[in-house]
Amino acid sequence: MDRMDIQVAVPRVSFASLVSRKKSEDSASVRERVMPARRIQIERFKSVSIFCNARMGTREIQKYCRLDANGQRLLARASDTLMLSARAVHSILKVARTIADLDQSADIRTGHVAEAVQYRGFDRENNSTLNG
């Protein structure tokens, strides 16, 4: 599980939700939100042999995933609390970079880090099992 960048629990969908006529977001709408982030990543990595944030190595993470003091404190606290490996911390940074790209933000903000940490569901569950 340590190699999975995003880990979320997916709750059971109720029957009422399955048969609801409420319209959900369609793929075209999602694509409209994702394509600008993809263009940002393509431009970012045009001089190297990678094409997206998920493929960043340590050198690219250090260059493109810099955090302000608040973001660093949040990630340090999460790392200590959840006993994250270096791989998990790097995964969080890559996911935070992607969230910032989706937000069309040049900087990774504290909120981006917080959201990325939330996607480490297995680490939270595993940590509560170890400490509970």
Per-residue pLDDT of the chain (132 residues; tens, 9 = 90+): 555 567 667 788 889 888 888 888 899 999 999 999 999 999 999 999 999 999 999 999 999 999 999 999 999 999 999 999 999 999 999 999 999 999 999 999 999 999 999 988 655 555 544 444
Cα 61–Cα 115–Cα 131 angle in degrees, nearest 5: 95
What is the C-alpha separation between 3 and 87, in angstroms, rounded? 7
Position 101 scores a pLDDT of 98
Does a structural domain hold residue 15?
no
Token pair for 56: 């960043």
Whether residue 115 is contained in a domain is answered as: yes
Say if 9 falls within a structural domain.
no
Residue 20 lies in a domain: no
Structural domain includes residue 23: no
The total of structural domains in the chain comes to 1
In a domain, 13, yes or no: no
What pLDDT, on the 0 to 100 scale, is given for residue 131?
A: 43
pLDDT at 79: 95
Report if residue 6 sits inside a domain.
no
pLDDT of residue 18: 84
Residue 74 lies in a domain: yes
Question: Domain range spanning residue 65?
Answer: 28-131
- For residues 82-115, b (16+ Cβ closer than 10 Å) or e, as one string? bebeeebbbbbbbbbbbbbbbeeeeebbbbbbbb
Q: What is the pTM of this model?
A: 0.81
